[in-house]
């Protein structure tokens, strides 16, 4: 019988501006990624990148940037453009998965025009721009659900800015809620493996499929792994494993002998997901979620 030596897979996540852009509890996204990796024997290292820190793309496998108030975004916008722009662009063009929420989403577009003060220049990763129409216009606040890859994403949005897409592809179509601008049913934006969105909640605890999507992208990029369409049973954590005949888990996964990510017990996560759909009156979508994931 083959003997295995376990060497855990490792991923490194760069958390941009953890002290400045931390308004809505979106650290929960990082906690979710770390936990879902841990349960599969994958080590997720998290490194904070603040104002003044350079971004060396070769040192990271994933990136996350959250949201904050306008007064906090101004110095961040300057630092992002002057200190981290080149490294972030290189990472995105090399297909590194990036999750940018709310203010982070706005700063990865062309510009953010606040209700008062000068425009904040963005990186232009997403062909989009954001304008705050002033205090006389109601904020976009409340639960939101959207269609993404034939599935649903749910969360909570709270933003005064209205984002408009040029050629950028939206993350999803709004089923209930406001989305980018409360006008065209678009939500978020996608460029390569970079995802911008207004969904708080935090987003990933209530959307385990999207969390796993980001982890899979990172593993595929770093190790060349591919997702198995029909996952098979593997009694052990995901890892780089050497066997007697020289085959490694990385090699076996590349040939679809093993799944990329083992399924987890996500009953509570999907019940929370379905409860938001029900709250929004999307009863058939909620029932479909529970049928699919309880099975």
Q: Catalytic positions, please? A: 102, 200
Provide the strand spans (E) within 50-86.
62-65
33 sits in the region (left: phi over 0; alpha: psi -120 to 50; else beta) called alpha
Q: What is the DSSP string of 195-229?
A: EEE--BS-TGGG-HHHHHHHHHHHHHHHH-----S
Helix (H, G, I), strand (E, B) or coil at 254: helix
Residue 79 has a CB neighbour count (10 Å cut-off) of: 19
Which are the contacts of 266, defined by CB distance < 8 A and separation ≥ 6? Answer: 208, 293
Helix (H, G, I), strand (E, B) or coil at 286: helix
Task: Give, in order, the Cα–Cα distances in Å from 171 to each of 32, 47, 146, 194.
Answer: 20, 26, 9, 10
Residue positions forming the annotated binding site for substrate = 139
Is the distance from CB of 188 to CB of 200 less than 8 angstroms?
A: no
Q: d(Cα 151, Cα 287) in Å, to the nearest integer?
A: 13
Phi, psi of 143 (to 5 degrees): -65, 150
Residue positions forming the annotated binding site = 139
Q: d(Cα 105, Cα 16) in Å, to the nearest integer?
A: 12
Q: d(Cα 256, Cα 181) in Å, to the nearest integer?
A: 42
């Amino acid at each position: 019988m083959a003997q295995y030596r376990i060497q855990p897979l490792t991923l490194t996540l760069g958390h941009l501006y953890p002290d400045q852009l931390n308004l809505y509890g979106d650290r929960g996204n990082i906690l979710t990624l770390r936990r879902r990796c841990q349960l599969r024997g994958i080590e997720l290292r998290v490194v904070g990148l603040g104002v003044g820190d350079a971004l060396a793309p070769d040192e990271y496998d994933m990136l996350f940037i959250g949201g904050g108030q306008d007064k906090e975004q101004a110095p961040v916008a300057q630092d992002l453009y002057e200190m981290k722009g080149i490294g972030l662009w290189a990472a995105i063009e090399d297909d590194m998965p990036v999750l940018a929420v709310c203010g982070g989403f706005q700063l990865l577009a062309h510009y953010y025009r606040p209700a008062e003060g000068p425009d904040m220049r963005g990186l232009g990763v997403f062909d989009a721009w954001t304008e705050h129409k002033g205090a006389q216009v109601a904020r976009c606040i409340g639960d939101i659900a959207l269609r993404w890859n034939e599935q649903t994403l749910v969360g909570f949005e709270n933003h005064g800015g209205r984002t408009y897409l040029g050629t950028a592809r939206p993350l999803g179509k709004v089923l209930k809620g406001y989305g980018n601008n409360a006008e065209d049913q678009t939500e978020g934006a996608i460029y390569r493996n970079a995802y911008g969105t207004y969904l708080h909640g935090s987003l990933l605890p209530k959307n385990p499929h999207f969390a796993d999507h980001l982890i899979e992208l990172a593993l595929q990029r770093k190790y060349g792994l591919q997702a198995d369409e029909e996952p098979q049973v593997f009694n052990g954590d995901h890892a780089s494993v050497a066997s007697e005949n020289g085959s490694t888990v990385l090699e076996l996964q590349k040939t679809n002998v093993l799944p990329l990510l083992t399924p987890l017990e996500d009953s509570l996560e999907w019940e929370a997901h379905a409860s938001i759909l029900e709250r929004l009156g999307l009863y058939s979508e909620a029932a479909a979620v529970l049928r699919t994931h309880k099975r």
